[in-house]
Amino acid sequence: MKFLSNKVILVTGGTGTFGKAVIRKILESDFKKLIVFSRDELKQFELMSEFKLLPNFDLVQFYLGDIRDSERVNQVMHGVDIVIHAAAMKQVSAAEDNPLEAIKTNIFGTENIVRSSIENQVDKVISLSTDKAANPANLYGATKLCSDKLIIAGNSFPGDTKTKFSVVRYGNVLGSRGSVIPYFKSQIQYNEIPITDIRMTRFWITSNQASSFVLNRLSDMQGGEIFIPKIPSCKVLDVAKIICPNIPIKIIGIRPGEKLHETMITIDDSYNTIEMNKYYVILSHLLKNNKYYKDKGIKVAEGFSYTSENNHIWFSNREFKETLIRENLI
């Protein structure tokens, strides 16, 4: 990660599952300063306590604040070279019940990141998205789609700006707070595991893989892309059986805003999608003739889509269990 040398890096939402994973990796590199920006003082204290003995921790600064607060965002953005934007309201049900709160954080908060990055002449901004942003069926996905559009549009912001903006979109992070794995584990005490539909599939990625992918894309982003890693699918029913063997399954039906299968690249996206070795990239109109991708990748066929159902990469039950063990999740 030589590209981080002598750089000031800002991680929004730095105390979340992804934030902690990417901070741990950054601490192993050569950098000038790392700023952790989040709104929960307890989580900041816990992260400080967990990481204080790691190398380069003396180069980390913690700032409390909310991305909704444009003035505070501008304060912490001074002198920053790279922004990793991971702050978001992520719970589907919470967004459905509190739509304006999700809009304020995921849309208006991202607008603040874009404006402040341009005003402070940040070099690169990479924003975390979700498979739920492609053809969204719930408010969370819709707000993240808007967030993605704002990030990509930052590349054509009126006026002279050097800031490059890109997006990384991936699936469910194994073991992240509020995700299905800790939920299944919490249901063991009731001797019944609720499943919405036995056909349901999802994309899966570890926090370590997600953070590595984001840092790798930071090094070669051109500005105006949505990066999608090639990651495995697995049935949610199989996940439940692996985590909670011999516990009865109860089918409860699909909840509002939930999909049977998730999509990361829609058919409409196929016209602008390039396949690389380990990932796909959706190009904005700014990059349609970009030589970097034309030389290194292959345009996908029209009508191509990338869903957790039609994925060519699948976890076997053994592989999924081994991954959970390796990640200390079971």
Q: Which residues are catalytic?
A: 132
Task: Label residues 291-325 b or e (16+ Cβ within 10 Å = b).
Answer: eebeeebeebeeebbbbbbebeeebeeeebbebbe
Phi-psi group of 79: left, alpha or beta (phi > 0 → left; psi -120 to 50 → alpha; rest → beta): left
Contact 233, 203 (CB under 8 A): yes
What are the φ/ψ torsions at residue 228 (nearest 5 degrees)?
-130, 115
Q: Please name the residue ranges forming H helices in the chain.
A: 17-27, 41-51, 70-77, 92-97, 99-103, 109-119, 139-153, 180-187, 207-220, 236-243, 291-296, 317-326
Q: β-strands 273-275, 298-299: how paired?
A: antiparallel
